Structure 1
Amino acid sequence: MKFLEKLKDEILIGDGAIGTLLYNRGYSGSIEDANRRAEDMVVSAHQEYIEAGANVIQSNTYAANQLKLDNYGLGQEAARINTLGVRLAKEAANGKKEVYVAGTIGGIRDGRASSFTNQDIKKATQSQAEALMAEDPDVILLETYYDLHELIQAVRIIKRLSPDMPVIGNVSLGDVGVLHGGIPINDALLRLLNEGADVVGINCRMGPAQTIASLEEVSVPEGTYLSAYPNASLPGIQDGRLVYQSNPDYFKNQAEEFRNQGVRLLGGCCGTTPEHIRSFKDKLQHQAPIVKARAKGSTVREQASAEVGNTIQLDKEDPSIIVELDPPKSLTKIDTFIQGAKALHEAGADAVTLADNSLATSRIDNLAASTLIKQQAGAHPLLHIACRDRNLIGMQSHLLGLHALGIRDVLAVTGDPTKVGDFPGATSVYDLTSFDLIRLIKSMNEGFSQSGRPLGLQTQFTVGAAFNPNVSSMEKAVKRLEKKIVAGADFVMTQPIYDVETLQRLKEATAHLDIPIYIGIMPLINERNAEFLHNEVPGIQLTEQVRERMAACRGDVQRGEEEGLAIAKELQVASLDLFGRLYLITPFLRYHITARLTSDVRSGSAQKIRF
């Protein structure tokens, strides 16, 4: 009897975590490479699950795609590892009529930043699927997919290669009842069914209780086959490794509830062993499946209103000015910093923007600094948020903290690598790219965390994107900017520009973009400062004319600052004429310079200059 026919009238029991068994038996390295290096061990693991009562065993190929195998230098062995994976599972099944072999493909994206493009993932998935299906498994199991779009793409690939091949599509949840991005589990499963998946369900990430709670949110058409592969428990850490509680009796007690939720394929994921599978089998082997009852409810975000901060006015017709004032490196400078914020606010700055440890140099935390200037200077803060210093957990926590403090305006940046700063040995996190961070913030504005958990309230962030026009190809830079806008950016702040020609090229290249662009202007203070910026700071280029003008002031401190101010004024007039928005960057806490530039705009004394 074929796999899907068997599911019509019976509950099938899946296997558990093969990696858990192999590691416990002393295997190390790529689990999937055990198909080449430890064939007997893999066959023995499969047989243990069969003896425990598993009707469906997975090929040991979860991460056997080229992208993940490349981490072990095994990318070129992907086809062979997948081929052996199915063959070893079939050898363990030994032709038993009651045992089905699933060719397993695991998700690649896991919610963190990745250099893999959609095309990379599509190619790797198709290659793995072709290798598995050449060995004629009974079913293809797609599991541990955090990205619904990636899973849909995988289903399409399988069905295109073989329309009659049964496909199980299992998602992994960010929180109870929801996928990353706030997609309700019921919506996700319905979309998978519409794409042709034959069995849909949940695996990994959660133990039985949270998996069952998520299944309670599911209301799918009659005749749908549901699957569930919960973890043994939430993971702990022991000797640097993830460990799970051994709780087979608990699994046995939960088995009936899985049946009540309409599950017809029930197995285990991380941390589960043959004893967990035996518990499921013992409880359910003589019970028929039941039709899933109507869902108790669905995940709904609350629409309560939140306190609205005084966000920058993106539709403002008058010149809009953001002025950067970096938090100081020294605690002795905090009073000067607050005085500077007050002076900028009084000069007419719409917002005081604070970098997030620019050039990877440790400064007073910009969240603390922004709170101080909001309370003591009356200034409106706009915070830079760098992907470098916080993992995904810390990033979301930071954003929630900002919102709780009434700070609504942020700039999402990648962040300079740690090796350029004063702690070159520190770890750069980069769980997110700037694109990911923009999407995360926009998801929170919809009321969902990165995991998909409802926040209760929708955040109200306005998020900016950084842009560097000082590049050889303006066209490529704008294409990248367009992707940030698609991700949800509300406005743009550029790196400092030091010539009108670049401003004009930028205007032409972005004429089709309906988004406010704040032009970066950073006054120079002397020739040494100019040469440092031009030669050592990534993303900043000065023209020969500007460098010559600053070089002519060598040795004269006052003249150097005045010339730098004059250059900034010229650029300021051109920027306002072309874009109407300024992003002034204060050099070395010398806020009197940017306060003067701001005052000139507000007083109307900035005269138009012919170029």
Structure 2
Amino acid sequence: MNILSELNERILVGDGAIGTFLYEQGYKESFEAMNLTSPDIIQSVHEQYVQAGADIIQSNTYAANRIKLEKYGLEDKVSLINREGVKIAKQAARPGTFVLATIGGVRGVQRLDMTESDIREALEEQATALLEENPDGIMLETFYDVKEAEATVEMVRSLTTLPIIAQLALGEIGVMHGGTPVTEAFDTLEKAGADVVGVNCRMGPYHIIRSLEGVSLNEQRVLSAYPNASMPAFDDGRVIFQSNPDYFYEKAKELREQGVRLIGGCCGTTPEHIHAISRAVKGSSPLKKKAVVTEHPPEKEATNGSSLTRLDDLVKQEPTVIVELDPPKKLGTDRFLEGAKKLHESGAAAVTMADNSLASPRVDNVAMGALMKTKTQARPLLHVNCRDRNLIGLQSHLLGIHALGIQDILAITGDPTKVGDFPGAASVYDVNSFHLISLLKEMNEGRSFSGKSLGEKTSFTVAAAFNPNVRNLDRAVKRLEKKIAYGADYFITQPVYGKEQFKEIYESVKHLSVPVYIGIMPLVSGRNAEFLHNEVPGITLTDEVRRRMAECGEDRDRAKQEGIAIAKSLIDEAIKYFKGIYLITPFLHYDTTAELTSYIRQATNTINQ
């Protein structure tokens, strides 16, 4: 008896959730480790699903790979946990019950900083152990990343001729995270060697049915679906799912009408749900033809702010200055807006605003950007950090920025909260700067991070940060190359205080395909210089600069003028190599950076003449 031949003749019923089923009974920690510590409990779960009508049960090995087991200190037990998982499922099976060895996806909504080879090695180790126990097939489930799923199918296919069922977790109806349509993803998995393709997790029956409406059937295509019981909710700190077996009875019939031949359940489903599916469709003949719902109309082009010349294009055409002016820490915005106006009048192409730099709260830079647009002629360039907002907040924040007609963004990871005014605050970091750049570029294609259409395309120009004040400049440039691969349009550097650095930096980045705005920050006192040098990450002053500022003592006017003189000497050297200059305004002293902006414009005009 073979799974594929059976699926050609009749609908098969899969099992339901194991992890959430155990969670509801009070079990915690690693459910996969229970293959070793509590095999009788795992066997009982399998048996309940078999009694409920499941034709196919899965081994309790979803997260039994080295990467996920490391969280529990169990990475050295990968082989044992997986082999026992298959053995227990086989012991629970009845004659005619198929046992699939399950492998779960590694990458989720939150991106992991690990290589594709790391993931492949971990899943290959798991697959090898599972295959040693001779299951009836391999189930790949809850893969959020199409490339990871494709690579895993190819890897498993290289190890076995057993049937492979590959199931994806969708971001939104009909699309993967990153915007890949489910139809395209299925084609990819089938070409890689999957015998059955489908979807599981993330969605209940309604949205999975809608996702499959646009999937065509052909002679080779076999579909599976394992929906969640419902959307999850929280009750007294616990995740709960609505119990709705009767609803599953009706929706199983609708899944069959979409051509699904293997129907089971994912998070929140229980033996009662599987019994309802079994009553509805078990043994019925599969549907091999259906009408396909057409795709939605394409997104509209961006309409807000896109008429402005991009800052990465502008600096290629002419010397360009952008100036940072941090939003105020206290209420009252008049001085800030006066500064933005003066900077624009002095020749700044854009005024940049940090996003709670050094983890200290300021007036929201989006609000200040909107005020700047309406009350001055200055062009806002907003920093956006990954620390203060989860993925939901980040996307909402960026949609709002686009709606205000602001197109210029600097994507940064953000300083950790422990350095700021609220060290007990949580740092979110759902994504880092690389993935934020990618998210912005997805939005420029009219898609959210989850792959859902935004209705129109954004028009963001994305800057990325570059710290050249490091021991290993080559390594830092490698990071820039990676950021370009993610979609960075240009770079803005930390302030540089050594004249000899400019040529060295230029030689290191001249091969890059995108421009660099070199950072210069005027100093205002000796204490300011020492603080920046000793306490602010990414900033290093030369001994000469520190000495010159220290010699000013407590004379504020002298220190200010010395800081301007130092900045001008740095500018004179910087413009030999860079057409883009990034000035950082200290303590809202916009008169200083306005003077330096005018100086740069005059100096570059002289050179051009």
Shared topology, TM-score over 0.5?
yes
Report the equivalent of 1:566: 565
What is the RMSD of the two structures over their aligned residues, measured on CA atoms? 1.4
1:178–1:299 CA contact under 8 A, matched in 2 = no
Could you tell me which of 99, 106, 109 is aligned with 1:108?
106
**How many Å separate the matches in 2 of 1:531 and 1:196?**
61
Report the equivalent of 2:264: 267
**How many Å separate the matches in 1 of 2:3 and 2:329?**
65
SS in 1 for 2:575: helix
Equivalent AA in structure 2 for residue 259 of structure 1: R
SS in 1 for 2:531: helix
**1:89-488 equivalence runs, <5 A:** 89-93=89-93, 96-162=94-160, 164-309=161-306, 310-316=308-314, 317-332=317-332, 334-488=333-487
Equivalent AA in structure 2 for residue 271 of structure 1: G
Deviation of 1:311 after TM superposition, in Å, equals 4.9
**How many Å separate the matches in 2 of 1:130 and 1:263?**
29
Deviation of 1:373 after TM superposition, in Å, equals 1.2
Q: Deviations over 1:42-70 (max 9, x none)?
A: 00000000000101101011111111111
1:367–1:383 CA contact under 8 A, matched in 2 = yes
Deviation of 1:201 after TM superposition, in Å, equals 0.5
2:301–2:458 CA contact under 8 A, matched in 1 = no
2:102–2:140 CA contact under 8 A, matched in 1 = yes
Write out the 4+ residue segments of structure 1 that deviate beyond 3 Å after TM superposition: 603-608
**How many Å separate the matches in 2 of 1:534 and 1:33?**
50
Q: Deviations over 1:342-400 (max 9, x none)?
A: 11111111000000000001111111111111111221100000000000000000000
1:184–1:299 CA contact under 8 A, matched in 2 = no
Deviation of 1:605 after TM superposition, in Å, equals 8.1
SS in 1 for 2:312: coil
**How many Å separate the matches in 1 of 2:4 and 2:523?**
72
**How many Å separate the matches in 2 of 1:228 and 1:598?**
61
Query: 465-474 or 106-115: which moved more?
Result: 106-115
2:11–2:283 CA contact under 8 A, matched in 1 = no
Report the equivalent of 2:515: 516
**How many Å separate the matches in 2 of 1:415 and 1:38?**
44
**How many Å separate the matches in 2 of 1:244 and 1:158?**
33
**How many Å separate the matches in 2 of 1:595 and 1:220?**
65
Equivalent AA in structure 2 for residue 281 of structure 1: S
**How many Å separate the matches in 1 of 2:269 and 2:328?**
51
Q: Deviations over 1:287-316 (max 9, x none)?
A: 200114242112543234523343544223
1:79 maps onto 2:87 in alignment: no
Report the equivalent of 1:43: 43
Equivalent AA in structure 1 for residue 9 of structure 2: D
Report the equivalent of 1:500: 499
**How many Å separate the matches in 2 of 1:197 and 1:607?**
66
Query: 434-443 or 130-139: which moved more?
Result: 130-139
Query: 538-547 or 170-179: which moved more?
Result: 538-547
Deviation of 1:319 after TM superposition, in Å, equals 1.1
**How many Å separate the matches in 1 of 2:26 and 2:467?**
51
1:184–1:298 CA contact under 8 A, matched in 2 = no
**How many Å separate the matches in 2 of 1:194 and 1:402?**
41
Structure 1 residues 605 and 229, CA, compared in 2 at 3 Å: closer, same or farther?
A: closer
Deviation of 1:12 after TM superposition, in Å, equals 0.7
Deviation of 1:604 after TM superposition, in Å, equals 4.1
1:177–1:299 CA contact under 8 A, matched in 2 = no
2:304–2:402 CA contact under 8 A, matched in 1 = no
1:43–1:89 CA contact under 8 A, matched in 2 = yes
Equivalent AA in structure 1 for residue 156 of structure 2: I
Aligned residues: 604
- Unaligned residue ranges in structure 2 (runs of 5+): none
SS in 2 for 1:382: strand
Equivalent AA in structure 2 for residue 602 of structure 1: R
